[in-house]
Amino acid sequence: MATNVKSREYHREPIPYVENPAPRQDTFVPTGPLNPCELEIDLFCKGIRVDDSCTLGEVGRPLVRTRAGLGSGLEVIIPGPLKDIWANIPVEEEFAQKSCYRIVRDGDDFEIIDNRQGISYPVRLSPEVPWYARKTSRGIQMQRIGVLQGTYLGIYISNSCGFWYHSPALNCKFCTTGLNVGVNEVELKDVEDVVEVARAAKEESGVTFFHFNSGYQTNRDLDRAAPYVKAVKSRVGGLIGVQLTPTRDLWKYDRLIDLGADHFSFCYEFQNPEFFAKLCPGKEKLIGQKTFFQALEYTSKKLGKGACSGEIIAGIEPIEDTMAGIDMIAGMGAFPTVCIFRPTIGSDMESWSSPRYEDMIVVYRHLYEACRKHGIPMDVTPNIEVSLVVQPGDTRYLADSGLATTLYDIKLSLLKKAARPYFWWAMRPKNIKASEILSA
């Protein structure tokens, strides 16, 4: 059953931050097959081992460490009656080496086997990307410009996060951006390279959503994103998402909307202020949690319900705090993007334990209920499947049966049909006259 936690509860008796707490035992053992979302959650918590029958790289997508390190897993598609679920399953991390799950291959078929009960689940590997190995006109391998994570194209547009260059470093403790950008990706992207890669992704991989991401750029984040947003929207077309550290200069969001931005997401990571301060020292010192909330509220009002997202991590702070964050985000009219903590190799939190399934299932049941309560659209936009997180639309598998769920499903179905003409229009290349220069 979904757990109803009010957004104010964590203020009463905040649970103090503890450095690398002792892991709680994961006692969950399924008594029967899991549904696709339950399996997705358990795989994010436990990772997967690759059987000798599989030769990764021959089929499917390669394992690539990019951006914050989350994309370093195995991209699979879990089929299901409501929807297929795309998941980037941890493979390389230490906890994954001990997983009860393994993926095996029989000819062209793949299945995931749970060694606890011998239950097997048929899966598909995410399709290969034909343009990855090609080079742009400037001679840059396309995979070093942008990568598919699920069905969207993610592009880290600018220099590595500035938090890493302070002394002492102010980087978020779970992040490996400073280790990956410039090594596995080109450190500073050229606009022409980005346009070529975006066009290849749209024409050959059916991409509809282009997501621009960057680390801290000393309050010039939106300025640096503007030329990329305008170029892709006007010359390629598609839905444009922007995920940057927030600014107090809210007028800049208006300008990016004029340039073609359809979506903003804000990674404030933790609802609990103490966890935010301890684990995101740069965001605490140079930005502040309140700035994230103000930017999310402003852009959500500008673009409408479900167009923006607040992003938090589950499995580190108490789940009561995470659920309070979900309530707050949905209450603003945004959709909650909740990432299950992954102790990525090379991060300061590499030795921390992966979360328990028992805790995460409570969080995601609550996420569904919060979205339903606030009428947040789920899976309305065409062909956007994000493999790094459990998407709100995935949690439909966790919903209790009943009239409220049925009515919400009907509403979502009608919204999806009604929105088709809008998205057809929104994804066409636009004649944009606004200047991409935001400030001197």
Q: Please write the tens of the pLDDT for every residue from 316-362.
A: 999 999 999 999 999 999 999 999 999 999 999 999 999 999 999 99
**Per-residue pLDDT, 4:** 36
Q: For residue 37, what pLDDT band results from cuts at 50, 70 and 90?
A: very high
Asked if residue 27 belongs to a domain, the reply is no
Do residue 142 and residue 280 come from a single domain? Answer: yes
Domain count, the chain: 2
Do residue 119 and residue 159 come from a single domain? Answer: no
**Domain end residue (candidates: 71, 92, 125):** 125
**Per-residue pLDDT, 57:** 59
Mean confidence (pLDDT) of the chain: 91
Task: Compute the distance between CA of residue 226 and CA of residue 258 in angstroms, rounded to an integer.
Answer: 10
Task: Compute the distance between CA of residue 143 and CA of residue 82 in angstroms, rounded to an integer.
Answer: 32
pLDDT over 60 (residue 139): yes
**Per-residue pLDDT, 12:** 39
Do residue 144 and residue 246 come from a single domain? Answer: yes
**Domain end residue (candidates: 76, 96, 125):** 125
Count CA within 13 A, CB hemisphere, residue 96.
Answer: 23
pLDDT over 70 (residue 148): yes
Residue 79 host element (H or E): none
Do residue 270 and residue 239 come from a single domain? Answer: yes
Task: Compute the distance between CA of residue 194 and CA of residue 153 in angstroms, rounded to an integer.
Answer: 11
Do residue 62 and residue 178 come from a single domain? Answer: no
**Domain end residue (candidates: 74, 99, 125):** 125
pLDDT tens string 369-407: 999 999 999 999 999 999 999 999 999 999 999 999 999
Do residue 159 and residue 81 come from a single domain? Answer: no
Domain that holds residue 289: 130-426
pLDDT over 60 (residue 2): no
pLDDT tens string 5-36: 333 333 435 567 778 777 777 888 999 999 99
Asked if residue 399 belongs to a domain, the reply is yes
Q: Give percent of the chain above pLDDT 70.
A: 90
Do residue 209 and residue 224 come from a single domain? Answer: yes
Segment 118-136 shows an average pLDDT of 96
pLDDT over 60 (residue 64): no
Label residues 192-231 b or e (16+ Cβ within 10 Å = b): ebbbbbbbbbbeebebbbbbbbbbbbebbbbbbbbbbbbb
pLDDT tens string 65-99: 444 445 578 999 999 999 999 999 999 999 999 99
Do residue 117 and residue 137 come from a single domain? Answer: no
pLDDT tens string 237-253: 999 999 999 999 999 99
pLDDT tens string 276-327: 999 999 999 999 999 999 999 999 999 999 999 999 999 999 999 999 999 9
Do residue 203 and residue 104 come from a single domain? Answer: no
Nearest to 35 by CA among 1, 83, 74: 83
